[in-house]
Amino acid sequence: MATLSEIRALLGEPRFNSSDPGPWITLEQELGIAFPADFREIIDAYGSVVINQQLYLKHPASHLLHDLGTMIRRDLELWREEDMAEFLPSPVGAKPGELMPVATATTGEAVFLRVPDDSSSPWRVVVQEFDSPAWTLYEMTFSDWLLAYLKGRDVTLCSRNFAPDGPSWEFLP
């Protein structure tokens, strides 16, 4: 599993650095899941940011416009609509095998974490291309997927056009 120090080496120093577990506990109780540690660690370090002017990551403690809980509730409602559900490999939600929306991109992709079938199985990443019925399951953790993205590898989101000088981030307004 990729480490925060590997991500920091490519993306730069985080400045959010939250150590308050309260917003996570509240959101996880509401949703009925515990997010994977690597996802929480990255989001706690960087907060609500846009990476490479493309990938939006949100923290549960951010203000209403850019908080993770609001984004997840909105996206769960969207992806549960009958005409949208057909674009994903499984339903959205917090049950084993379901998909939890966790990020979006300016280029139209939605990033999901696949809830493991059991507690010993790892979380995986699914990326859905909003402008088509295509989706891809990545047999990797969120941190591995993000590291691959930052390195310019094809993980459905392609950052080379958005980050010709290397990865960057900025806080969401």
Per-residue model confidence as pLDDT tens digits over 35-52: 999 999 999 999 999 999
- Which strand ranges, in their side-by-side order, compose the sheet holding 99-105? 135-138, 124-129, 109-114, 99-105, 55-57, 49-51, 169-171
- CA–CA distance, 110 with 55 (Å, rounded to integer): 9
- At residue 160, the pLDDT reads 66
- CA–CA distance, 37 with 21 (Å, rounded to integer): 12
Per-residue model confidence as pLDDT tens digits over 44-74: 999 999 999 999 999 999 777 899 999 999 9
- CA–CA distance, 24 with 14 (Å, rounded to integer): 19
- At residue 122, the pLDDT reads 94
Q: Dihedral, CA atoms, 31, 169, 157, 3, nearest 10 degrees?
A: -70
CATH number reported for the structural domain that contains residue 119 in this entry: 3.40.1580
* Domain interval for residue 153: 4-171
* Count of structural domains within the chain: 1
- At residue 159, the pLDDT reads 65
Taking all residues of the chain, what is their mean pLDDT, rounded to a whole number?
A: 93
Indicate whether 167 pLDDT > 80.
Answer: yes
Per-residue model confidence as pLDDT tens digits over 18-32: 999 999 999 999 999
CA distances from 112 to 101, 131, 143, 158, 173 (A): 4, 16, 13, 17, 23
What residue has token string 């997010």? 35
| CA-based max dimension of the chain | 42
What residue has token string 């989001």? 43
- CA–CA distance, 115 with 93 (Å, rounded to integer): 8
Of 128, 126, 145, 162, which Cα lies nearest the Cα of 51? 162
- CA–CA distance, 51 with 170 (Å, rounded to integer): 7
Of 53, 110, 42, 126, which Cα lies nearest the Cα of 78? 110
